[in-house]
Chains A and B, each alone.
Chain A
């Protein structure tokens, strides 16, 4: 297990190095170059020259790249041109919101998707199956931002069940400990703050969950269908094991393998989705920050974010692999 972790972490290095080269070249190719990216709209020529000197743009390319790399390693991602604050600080501030949102979205997708897929497979061709399959197909085809707008229009504006924007209500004045609003409420005993944060999370999380949910329903259904015909399931049934035991220990457990993979696979798409849903709900996470960074061409933020996401993505995949080896003992042997 430890060897797996170490090996995977080592494999991370070339990937990130390659990515940093790409990012470096990208920054270099930007219209106006890094100086205008840093200084923004009102820069004078003298300021640009100053920045070019400060960034060492008069130096050979490899020196420039080395500096770029060093800054990334030191987590010195530069300063956001939108807010004038260090990019790293901005991430730390907003990351918890997106983590909460993504976790809840995945939770919804798994909690609804797995049982739905399972029962759809058990009742193949029945009404539940048909509904689940067609529902999941449609779910993939609705643009996320459109779904978010519709959900907001119905449940926040017309019915008023959920708040229409933001992370927390205005009057709540919650104490911030970790930055995770729901967790903070629990930790400080301000349960109304937790509840408030959850209410704010639900609509964006449902919108964000639409695609993962659809994928998980179909994955679960397909893999349950596959597994239930496998020899070991038949053997188990023939042995006279209780049906519930067969189902939970053999069918579900084995069927979960591809689903776990899918969850890892979906993190990338979740972050894309978060850019859209968070901006529809003015939810103060990384996604809506990236959206404004895109609008304002805040390159330090975009570069930092891409590096950051790549790392998170690879780490999540590592976790998925570990989960894999826990569920499937065969993997551990390799």
Chain B
């Protein structure tokens, strides 16, 4: 058994795809997609994500007011607990500095999506590289390759051992506070997950008939890895990326709550908005509820789609 039992679940997901894999993988995808289309979970998730993405892309051009303009600052008195709720001009009311909440939510969607996507991409890219190298060594590198693989995996296990929040804090401490730091911190936390996953899937592929066939035909090892094994190991990684988007958004909100979020508070991001608004929860609960609901629904969208994909790829869980 490997050191990190934590990864068994990941491993399992990785193996699942490989076991039923054909040499091209195309039919599995077609089959999975067919199943996805029938899944209510997937449809709801996809709709939520679509709406969110559209808002994130188009929203900033539709804002009735500039999200940073303190146009109505004479009307809110945070020092007396007087706030302005929804009204004709401001559909979601005003925030504590007299800015239009609706505009801030729209622009915030883009920031939130940006943080989620970029950090997941960071995690995916680094994890892909590490996992891919490790997996290649493990499957085709022989005895010495396995040793390299085991060294890399020790390193990954070590990263898994750290509570993600602490890892993020450590990174923020060295890099200073910025939006980039938040994205890198949240991204780095995902690295070991992706690395494990890809490696696991590649290991499972390593023993597949088509790999043995290619090997016996004398195809170069690097080619086998790049053109055969890696493409066929992608599906669990894609599923995980979808799920990671949800985690990333929540994790970024937690960092904001701990005061490690984006230092430019004028640029609205849902996590920062929520962290700020909870101070006024008694007097103006809606100020916290809007960004909170935004975060929850979006995260839910990605989770639903990710889970549905996982189930679609896992025939045992099929309904």
Taking Cβ atoms with an 8 Å cutoff, the residues of A that contact B are: 8, 11, 14-15, 18-19, 22, 26, 29-31, 124-125, 137-138, 140-146, 149, 153, 219, 222, 225-226, 229, 258, 261-262, 264-265, 268-269, 271-272, 275-276, 290-291, 294-295, 297, 299, 302, 305-306, 309-310, 313-314, 317, 320-321, 324, 331, 334
Contact = CB atoms under 8 A, between A and B. Distances in A.
Contact of B158 (A19, A145, A258): A19
Contacts of B260: 294
Nearest to A311: B161
A143 B3 contact: no
29 contacts: A15-B3, A15-B157, A18-B154, A19-B161, A125-B319, A137-B303, A140-B246, A141-B300, A141-B303, A143-B292, A143-B296, A145-B257, A146-B253, A149-B281, A153-B281, A258-B8, A261-B5, A262-B9, A265-B6, A268-B160, A268-B164, A272-B166, A276-B165, A276-B257, A294-B258, A295-B259, A309-B162, A310-B158, A324-B5
Nearest to B169: A294
How many chain B residues sit at the interface, stated as a range, is 35 or more
Helix, strand, loop or mixed for chain B's interface? helix
B316 interface: yes
B53 interface: no
B304 interface: yes
A141 B281 contact: no
A304 to B, nearest CB: 12
A309 B246 CA distance: 26
A275 B258 contact: yes
Helix, strand, loop or mixed for chain A's interface? helix
A290 B304 contact: no
Contacts, number: 140
Nearest to B300: A141
A137 B304 contact: yes
A320 to B, nearest CB: 5
B52 to A, nearest CB: 13
B236 to A, nearest CB: 15
Interface in B270-289: 274, 278, 281, 288
A229 B318 CA distance: 13
B254 A276 contact: yes
By CB atoms of chain B within 10 A, which of A138, A146, A229 has the most? A146
